[in-house]
Structure 1
Amino acid sequence: MSTPPPPSQPPSGGFGAPQDPPPGGFGAPVPPPGPAAPQSGPPQQPPSAQPAYGYPQTGPGYGYPQQPGTPPPFGTPPAPAAPPHAPAAGTGNDKRNQLMIVGAALLAIVLIVGGGLWYTSGDGGTDDRADSGPSASPGSDKPQDVVPGTEKVPGNPKSKPLLNLPNPVPADIATVTGSWLTDSTYIKSDLSKIVGYNVVDGGKKWELPLAGELCGATKHVSENKTAVLFRPTPSTPENKYPPCTEVGVIDLESGKLVWSGNAKSATGGDKPVSLNTVTLSGKTVAAAGISGGGTAWNLADGKSLWLPKIDGEGCRDVGYAGGEALGAIRKCGQSPNYTLYGQLLDPTSGAPTASYKLSQGIEDASIVSTKPLIVAADVGKTAKNATGVSDLFVIDPKGELKARIPLASGDFAGKCGLDVEKCVNMVVGNGKLYLPSYEHQGQSSSGRTNELLSFDLETGKQTTDRADAGEGYTMFPLRMDGSNIIAYKNPPYDKGGQIVSIDSRTMKETLLMENPADKVSQRAETQFSPEYSEYRYHNGKFFISRTTVSKPFTDKSDPEYLFASFTAS
């Protein structure tokens, strides 16, 4: 499946490839990839998008008859093997087998005529209607509770540009990680500040200056607040990257800095600890540095909950993951003999409530989800296509392995980086992990496409779920909306991107937004890539933003944007 990357992809090595620390050590920003070169004529396709609900599909889906000799669709789970010990032709079992087949056929006809297709549930062997109430998800015999989503289908899904904000120009390279979208405001990190924009007309609502440049942010929101990391002083020519030591909590509606502070290690005297990641779970803000351990504060008032600590075996928290629960990756020992643990923590004390030991030799791990806890790692450096992850480990609340999901084939496009919470293209919901297939050739020789697939978190096996991106589009999931999946489809060279809602029971797609196909809008939209960008969609508003900006080295024909945005017309 290995193919040359499209123009908008990051440089060779890919997301998740090992990186040397930037000037100033970890916490200093990493240069962003350059924008895609201007396209003329039908070039290679950038990643992601798909036909709206009701559009004809370009290829056969699951359950459709295949032509003799035709391979199954990309991403199809392996077919079950034939039953062993089948009776040979001409044996005394022939007549009995024929009678059984006829009987089964008659029973199927009776069930269909009698009021709809029925199936046998694997839980207790009772019969349930497949088309009423909680339904069986494809590839699973367990009933799925349906949770309604909040995203509404607009009367007209055709969008128009809202605001494309040009890149700020730093002295060198700067981190601008962090973007959040509420009902009324889009909030975006900028150079040494955070700015709120009105989602109706794109006008600036508020601006919050910071003491120094941003160096980290969490995507999570709690009580309408979020958390960021920033430097205590501005950058200077003599000190381009002051240490990243300050954590701050921002009120997303008012734009006020609720509180800010730092932490000192038990052995470092009065010197603040350098931090490189921050997250949020409930009322706990937790931050960590690769070498200094982790620390946490109360969301409301900044009261210290725990400080960095390293035990006698050199164990320290190297990163946290937030959301519904608080997870951590704890690293013990010295290179190359590290031992890593994926943990769930008590958010008020930092004490582990569950701990799973990863295989010896794994040097880095990430967390895809905290409820359930899903840890990602590249076991034995076997990950292909620069995804940075070969296996996912689903951990139960007792710290025991529930399932292992293999991704080393390179057929799947879920990706993880060095930061604990830096996994993209993977979304958890309905007892499943949703992720895209790695892009591959479509029906035309130059077209690229992919599919949205899933794995069962109880068994670790791939399900029959499949949503096709469509010719020239590639899709990846953004988040859950109740039981539905919100996905973005990156367009071919002559169309705009799409936002779709996918029904998890049927994998049918409903078009929520289709962006303009004119060259100006299309070039603004496709200069972003998922590994280095943040995608936010809510209530007919769509924003794509950068996580790093750099000083331009040459004049460019196309402007580069800090973010591009669209609104349903």
Structure 2
Amino acid sequence: MTQPPPPPPHQPPQGGFGPPQDQPPQQPGQQPGFGAPQPPQAPQTPPPAAPPAPGQQPGYGYPQQPPQAPPQAPPGYGYPQAAPPPQAPPQAPPGYGYPGQAPNPYGQPTPPYGQQPPYGYAQPTMPLQPQAQPGGKKFNAQLAIIVSAVVAIALIVGGGVWYATSSGDGDKKDDTANSSGGTGGKDDGKDGGSGGTGGTDTGGGTTGTSTKPLEKVPANPASKILFQVPAPKVSKDTTISTAGSWLTDKVYAKSGVAEITGFDPDKGTKLWNIKLPGPVCQGSNHATTDGRTAILYQPAMPTKDKPSHGCSQIAAIDLNAGKKLWTKTANSGDEPISFNNITVSGGTAAVGSTSGGAAFDLGTGKQLWAPKPTDTCYDAGYGGGAKLVAVRRCGSYDQPELHIQTIDPKSGKVISDYQMGSGIAYASVVSSDPLVVAADVGESAKDGSGISDFFSIDNKTGKLRTRISAPSDQYAASCDGITKVEECHQVAVGNDRLYISTEEHDGSGKFSQTNEIVALDLATGKTVGQRAVAGDDSTLSPLRMDGPNLIAYKRGPYNKGGQVLSIDGGTFKETKLLENPSTESVLDAERSMLPQSAEILYRQGRLFMSDVYASDLGRTSGEVEYLVIAFGLN
């Protein structure tokens, strides 16, 4: 499994809080003028402190350096079998937790940011019909890895202690929303199952329960460029997060540098713009059916003197109206606490960090639950969508004890609890319903993917259904469980199955590479005997579910545009929904959006690919880069 370079070293977490434990836990159980490709995206939220992550591997995707034929995969490649559940750690003695530990220092040292100059989205001046250009640049994976590592180091934030405050948005300059007609539309909210972040398109990421596919098969899948948004210009040595993208029936919304902009999804016309005082750290992968979601952002722009202000601002956004509904802050004395994770479930916005978690009503901003003085555990983060799932951390820093809890979004009441075994320091929520968690057991995933195993858990009882071994040398999925509990790529869940990309391996042609998507049963952990094959010099990545069918993105050979496929959940028959232009300028731009890090949204014949950060690192003078590339049927 591969992913962008890991965050820098962390500090031990301090005692925190989470939802009230009202019942005891149950037993464990990317047109002419397109620029050259960009480097892989860096993590978009300033992470807290944590142990050093394992080394990285070169970036995913074609074209590559002239390859050496890799060794053949061992027998059974791409088909892990169910592994026995881990043994639960011994019960903690009375008073087990964090008392006596030194508090986490706020504001860890970081390399300096440059001052961010003002900018705005300008409509492209180039014609929208793609034309071939000679000498197109190809992606240099090794350079990109170095650039991404520098970017990752530039994004560090500390923690704090919770004190809740709130504010309205009516008369603040940094809270204004200029709207020119962004109305109507609904979140998809009907697709069964879920997909990993960056590969999730359920109108911003809701998980639904429809048993029928909603995507229509076009008579002609050939696409054209609908619009593109130029990458924001940033100062030298500056990297700014632009994380967050959402899609409703009438609005495509995307985070820029200290702003969120709503676009007409067909024309690219700006419908509204919400200015923020600082960069967006993270946007929820989920939205309600009426187009409401939540974000984390910094209270000010980074400067040389203050490279980070922490992701302390929590806000609800009405995507259809283009308004910020409310803002909440969390302070430690005079300093704000920085959160790592935000999600939406059941009309609730939940935030988590090493200092714990809390929840607010998405419509009103009312605090739904708060920390308790007696808490010795903390909610590191939450997975949202159809259900709300907490990753709760107890125990000492050196010997953590993780609990996966399904909780009521309104009350915080624990519905079920699964205690993970020893040797698991971090976990990621891949899907909240059915509940699937990924973890790196014993730090055995040596590529930094954060996954060695998947855990299928019963939401109602908290019992382990099965544990699925997923060796990192065979599978391309990745999760950032250290800083973002709900940040997984190359994996989707639906039909009570886990759909996962394999790593690239030898194809049938000389020097060719390919991969597959395989399906595993969440009840038994075994493969279901089906797989989707990308073909030579191509790769497949799961995006999300469409009823019983899997929506996947196919990255083709160097001379062919990407495709969106619908894979039948029963027969695994592939149907082409979209195929992008194959001119060199378009190819270069599309290939700058890597499936394992870019945000990729697809619905009803429209594909949106966007970057999660803006940076001058690795940028060549005169090179044109894009924040968003939108494709649609002819």
1-structure distance, mates of 2:378, 2:318: 30
SS of the aligned residue for 1:524 comes to helix
Aligned to 1:75: 78
SS of the aligned residue for 2:322 comes to coil
The correspondence for 2:265, drawn from 196, 199, 202, is 199
2-structure distance, mates of 1:467, 1:478: 14
Displacement after TM superposition at 1:446 (Å): 2.2
Aligned to 2:463: 400
Aligned residue identity for 1:344: T
Displacement after TM superposition at 1:567 (Å): 0.9
2-structure distance, mates of 1:194, 1:509: 35
Aligned to 2:276: 210
Moved more, 223-232 or 550-559: 550-559
Aligned to 1:415: 478
Gaps of 5+ in 2: 11-42, 50-55, 68-72, 82-208
With over 3 angstroms needed to count, the CA separation of the structure-2 counterparts of 1:369 and 1:44, relative to structure 1, is farther
Aligned to 1:177: 243
CA contact (8 A) 2:45 2:241 kept: no
The correspondence for 2:559, drawn from 471, 483, 494, is 494
State which structure, 1 or 2, has the greater radius of gyration over its C-alpha atoms: 1
Gaps of 5+ in 1: 3-12, 46-69, 79-144
The correspondence for 1:540, drawn from 605, 610, 614, is 605
SS of the aligned residue for 1:394 comes to strand
Aligned to 1:220: 286
Aligned to 1:475: 540
Moved more, 278-287 or 200-209: 200-209
Aligned residue identity for 1:289: S
Displacement after TM superposition at 1:177 (Å): 0.6
CA contact (8 A) 1:15 1:416 kept: no
SS of the aligned residue for 2:557 comes to coil
Displacement after TM superposition at 1:15 (Å): 3.9
SS of the aligned residue for 2:338 comes to coil
Aligned residue identity for 1:520: S
SS of the aligned residue for 1:380 comes to helix
With over 3 angstroms needed to count, the CA separation of the structure-2 counterparts of 1:24 and 1:392, relative to structure 1, is closer
With over 3 angstroms needed to count, the CA separation of the structure-2 counterparts of 1:376 and 1:72, relative to structure 1, is closer
Displacement after TM superposition at 1:532 (Å): 2.1
CA contact (8 A) 2:476 2:503 kept: yes
The correspondence for 1:379, drawn from 441, 449, 455, is 441
With over 3 angstroms needed to count, the CA separation of the structure-2 counterparts of 1:443 and 1:235, relative to structure 1, is same
Displacement after TM superposition at 1:146 (Å): 9.3
With over 3 angstroms needed to count, the CA separation of the structure-2 counterparts of 1:521 and 1:255, relative to structure 1, is same
With over 3 angstroms needed to count, the CA separation of the structure-2 counterparts of 1:39 and 1:537, relative to structure 1, is closer
1-structure distance, mates of 2:267, 2:313: 33
With over 3 angstroms needed to count, the CA separation of the structure-2 counterparts of 1:39 and 1:532, relative to structure 1, is closer
CA contact (8 A) 2:3 2:597 kept: no
Aligned residue identity for 1:155: A
Q: CA RMSD in A?
A: 2.9
2-structure distance, mates of 1:446, 1:391: 31
2-structure distance, mates of 1:218, 1:510: 30
Aligned to 2:495: 430
Aligned to 2:391: 329
SS of the aligned residue for 2:330 comes to coil
Displacement after TM superposition at 1:203 (Å): 1.5
Percent of residue pairs identical: 40
SS of the aligned residue for 1:163 comes to strand
Aligned to 2:138: none
Displacement after TM superposition at 1:17 (Å): 4.2
CA contact (8 A) 1:44 1:447 kept: no
CA contact (8 A) 1:392 1:406 kept: yes
CA contact (8 A) 1:27 1:243 kept: no
The residue correspondences of 1:238-387 to structure 2 (distance < 5 A) are 238-264=305-331, 268-269=332-333, 271-290=335-354, 292-309=355-372, 311=374, 314-387=376-449
The correspondence for 1:153, drawn from 197, 217, 227, is 217
1-structure distance, mates of 2:316, 2:506: 45
Deviations 1:245-299 (A, max 9, x none): 11111111111111111235xxx45754321210000111001122x11011001
2-structure distance, mates of 1:361, 1:200: 49
CA contact (8 A) 2:560 2:587 kept: yes
With over 3 angstroms needed to count, the CA separation of the structure-2 counterparts of 1:371 and 1:556, relative to structure 1, is same
With over 3 angstroms needed to count, the CA separation of the structure-2 counterparts of 1:17 and 1:445, relative to structure 1, is farther
SS of the aligned residue for 1:428 comes to strand
With over 3 angstroms needed to count, the CA separation of the structure-2 counterparts of 1:215 and 1:554, relative to structure 1, is closer
Displacement after TM superposition at 1:413 (Å): 1.6
Aligned to 1:165: 229
1-structure distance, mates of 2:591, 2:79: 29
Displacement after TM superposition at 1:235 (Å): 2.7
CA contact (8 A) 2:297 2:312 kept: yes
Q: TM-score, normalization: structure 2?
A: 0.68
2-structure distance, mates of 1:189, 1:243: 17
Aligned residue identity for 1:75: G
With over 3 angstroms needed to count, the CA separation of the structure-2 counterparts of 1:39 and 1:370, relative to structure 1, is closer
SS of the aligned residue for 2:527 comes to coil
2-structure distance, mates of 1:399, 1:254: 39
2-structure distance, mates of 1:408, 1:520: 37
Aligned to 1:5: none
With over 3 angstroms needed to count, the CA separation of the structure-2 counterparts of 1:385 and 1:464, relative to structure 1, is farther
Displacement after TM superposition at 1:43 (Å): 5.6
With over 3 angstroms needed to count, the CA separation of the structure-2 counterparts of 1:183 and 1:282, relative to structure 1, is same
Displacement after TM superposition at 1:527 (Å): 0.7
2-structure distance, mates of 1:183, 1:493: 33
CA contact (8 A) 1:278 1:320 kept: yes
2-structure distance, mates of 1:408, 1:24: 27
CA contact (8 A) 2:224 2:632 kept: yes
SS of the aligned residue for 1:229 comes to strand
Displacement after TM superposition at 1:185 (Å): 1.7
With over 3 angstroms needed to count, the CA separation of the structure-2 counterparts of 1:274 and 1:75, relative to structure 1, is closer
Aligned to 2:8: 19
Deviations 1:89-139 (A, max 9, x none): xxxxxxxxxxxxxxxxxxxxxxxxxxxxxxxxxxxxxxxxxxxxxxxxxxx
Deviations 1:11-33 (A, max 9, x none): xx8447463369996369xxxx9
2-structure distance, mates of 1:206, 1:364: 38
CA contact (8 A) 2:257 2:614 kept: no
Moved more, 554-563 or 253-262: 554-563
SS of the aligned residue for 2:358 comes to strand
CA contact (8 A) 1:305 1:349 kept: yes
1-structure distance, mates of 2:559, 2:446: 30
SS of the aligned residue for 1:239 comes to coil
SS of the aligned residue for 1:486 comes to strand
Aligned to 1:567: 632
Displacement after TM superposition at 1:423 (Å): 1.0
Moved more, 445-454 or 471-480: 445-454
SS of the aligned residue for 1:531 comes to coil
Moved more, 550-559 or 392-401: 550-559
1-structure distance, mates of 2:247, 2:537: 29
Aligned to 1:505: 570
**Number of residues paired by the alignment?**
457
Aligned to 2:300: 233
2-structure distance, mates of 1:243, 1:16: 21
1-structure distance, mates of 2:497, 2:437: 14
